C-alpha cells in the first residue's frame, strides 16, 4: 500500500500535484481542507464551526480533523493507497495518523515536502483569491496568518517524518509538470 504525505505551506501546490498523482498511482486523495470546505458548503454544524477558524487562517482543532480522516479511512477500505494533503498539520495529528494506519496493518510510505518561499506563496494565493471565492485567499493579512500558523504548528511535522527517515524535500517552484516529475521520481522509490 502506498501512503504519501504531500507536505508544504499554503499555496505550495499540494492540491495541484495531488490531482495528477491520484491518476498516475490510483490513490485516494484525502485533503482535510477540501473535506472541511465541503462541510461548509453543506451547512453542517462542523462546517459552521470550522469556517470561523478557516476564514481567519487558523487551524481547526486536532480532534476534528483526526475524526474526519478516521472516517475516510474506514469508508475507503479497498483503496490501494492514499495521498494525505494538508494533513497531518500538527505532530499530534501525525501521531494519530500512525496509530490509525497501524490498526489497518499499514504505515506512511514517505513524505514529500514542497519547498516554496513565502513571497511566491503570497503571490499565488492572492492570484487565486481573485476568483476562488475562498475567504482565506482574499487578503495578504490572512495569507500571512496562514503562513505563520504553518511555521509554528505545521513545520515541526517534517521533523517527525525526518526522524523516521521518511522525508524528502523538493523544489516546489517551476512548471507543474517539472514538479510532478520530481515527486514521481521520489514516489517510485517507495
Compare residues 58 and 184 and give the one whose CB is closer to ligand AP5. Answer: 58
Q: Where are the alpha helices (DSSP H) in 55-138?
A: 62-74, 91-102, 118-132
CB of 133: closest distance to ligand AP5 in angstroms?
12
Q: Is 39 helix (H, G, I), strand (E, B) or coil?
A: helix
Q: Which residues contact 163 (CB under 8 A, 6 or more apart)?
A: none
Q: Is 105 exposed, middle or buried (0-12, 13-18, 19+ CB in 10 A)?
A: exposed
**Residue 129 touches which of ligand AP5, Mg ion, none (Cβ within 5-8 Å per kind):** none
Is the preceding omega at residue 88 within 30 degrees of 0, hence cis?
Answer: yes
| 99 a catalytic residue | no
Binding residues for ligand AP5, rule: CB under 6 A, are: 8, 10-16, 32-33, 36, 53-54, 57-60, 65, 86-87, 89, 93, 124, 128, 136, 146, 174, 176, 179
- Tell the smallest beta-carbon distance from residue 86 to ligand AP5 (Å): 3
Give the footprint of Mg ion on this chain (CB under 5 A). Answer: 14-15
Which residue among the candidates 51, 72, 124, 146 is catalytic per the annotation?
Answer: 146
128 catalytically annotated: yes
* Residue 124 designated active-site: no
Active site residue 146: yes
14 is catalytic: yes
User: Active site residue: 20, 134, 144, 162, which one?
Assistant: 134
CB neighbours of residue 156 within 10 Å: 12
Q: Across the strands, what pairs with 62?
A: none
Residues marked as catalytic: 14, 89, 128, 134, 146
Amino acid at each position: 500500500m502506498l501512503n504519501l504525505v504531500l507536505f508544504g505551506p499554503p499555496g505550495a501546490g499540494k492540491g495541484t500535484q495531488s490531482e495528477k498523482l491520484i491518476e498516475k498511482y490510483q490513490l485516494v486523495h484525502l485533503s482535510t481542507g477540501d473535506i472541511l470546505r465541503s462541510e461548509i458548503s453543506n451547512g453542517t454544524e462542523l462546517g459552521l464551526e470550522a469556517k470561523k477558524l478557516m476564514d481567519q487562517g487558523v487551524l481547526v482543532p486536532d480532534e476534528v480533523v483526526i475524526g474526519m480522516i478516521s472516517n475516510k479511512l474506514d469508508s475507503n477500505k479497498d483503496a490501494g493507497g492514499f495521498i494525505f494533503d494538508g494533513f497531518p498539520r500538527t505532530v499530534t495529528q501525525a501521531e494519530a495518523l500512525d496509530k490509525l494506519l497501524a490498526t489497518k496493518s499499514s504505515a506512511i510510505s514517505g513524505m514529500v515536502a514542497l519547498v516554496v518561499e513565502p513571497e511566491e506563496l503570497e503571490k499565488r494565493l492572492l492570484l487565486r483569491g481573485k476568483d476562488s471565492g475562498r475567504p482565506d485567499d482574499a487578503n495578504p493579512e490572512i495569507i500571512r496568518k496562514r503562513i505563520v500558523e504553518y511555521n509554528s504548528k505545521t513545520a515541526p511535522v517534517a521533523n517527525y517524518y525526518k526522524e523516521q527517515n521518511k522525508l524528502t524535500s523538493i523544489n516546489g517552484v517551476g512548471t507543474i509538470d517539472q514538479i510532478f516529475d520530481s515527486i514521481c521520481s521520489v514516489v517510485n522509490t517507495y
